[in-house]
Amino acid sequence: MKFVLSAAFAPVPALPELAVAADESGWAMITMSDHVVNPETLTTPYPYTPDGSRRWPEFTDWPDQLVMMGAYATITKRIRFTTNAFVLPMRNPFLVAKAVSTVSAISNNRVVLTCGVGWSKDEYGLLGQDFHTRGKRADEMIEIMKLLWSGEYVEYHGQYYDFPRIEMNPKPAGPVPIWIAGISDAALRRAARVGEGWLTDLQPAAEIVASIERIRALRREYGRDRLPFDVLASPSDVFDLDGYKRLEDQGITHILMQPWHLYHPGTQDPRQMIDSVKRYADDVIAKFG
């Protein structure tokens, strides 16, 4: 089992020190969450709470994930970076591919791109992208990025994107894994069809395991069941070593954790956050070798 530090909602000035502390104490990855803007009034409810309200307060820091990964690349040596999750079809595929390949080139390929299709129609409108075609466009964007990352001349002729022979460099320092986020049937199908991994929501372990079984069945249908596949999970009801070992046996490869909720609940103090990162590494991560 590997452990991934969630830096969601942490104050941005604390992030470099958190990344270095995680790098030095044995965390496998660090991740951030994604919103460009947060409208004062939602026209589409947040889908992951019973009442549709957001999980975070107003004026929470939401740093640009790809910019932060570039910063992390210059101050860490081992830890990998991923997104939790990156709303891919809200963006331009060429700009995303360029940013990710640049981070890969300067970090010795420590990048995993975890993509979702998002829920906020408001943000899509502000960024000039069509909300209703987001799933189909995401599929094409993934194909396009993988082509561009070859560093060779490529062309593409799809329903939403069409271009003649082009090349994009620098290419990544190695293959960039794409993990798929989401708990809808469409997300599970996308993870099985094109993903090298899957990101859960914050949910009970039994629901996560059921989704893993669903993805496994779909991967068999797509002829991809023999390929490696990672699962980054946020179980809401498992916090102990024995529980994590059981989840590992059931197909979970990574646990997403914010350790300050255990040691300093509610803190926004960078010193307490860093202390929590190191303490959790000693109390839990070290016991997994």
- Residues 22-44 have pLDDT tens digits of 999 999 999 999 999 988 988 88
Q: What is the pLDDT of residue 43?
A: 87
Angle at 272 between CA 268 and CA 275, to 5 degrees: 145
Residue 171 has pLDDT above 80, yes or no: yes
- Residues 77-93 have pLDDT tens digits of 999 999 999 999 999 99
Q: What is the pLDDT of residue 47?
A: 85
Q: What is the pLDDT of residue 124?
A: 96
Mean pLDDT, rounded, for 142-158? 98
DSSP 238: -
Task: Give percent above pLDDT 70 in the chain.
Answer: 100
Kindly indicate whether the domain formed by 2-288 is annotated with CATH number 3.20.20.30: yes
Q: pTM of this prediction?
A: 0.93
Domain ranges of the chain: 2-288
Can you tell me the distance from the alpha carbon of 201 to that of 46, in angstroms, rounded to the nearest whole number? 13
Please indicate whether residue 246 or residue 46 has the higher confidence score (pLDDT): 246
Can you tell me the distance from the alpha carbon of 35 to that of 64, in angstroms, rounded to the nearest whole number? 8
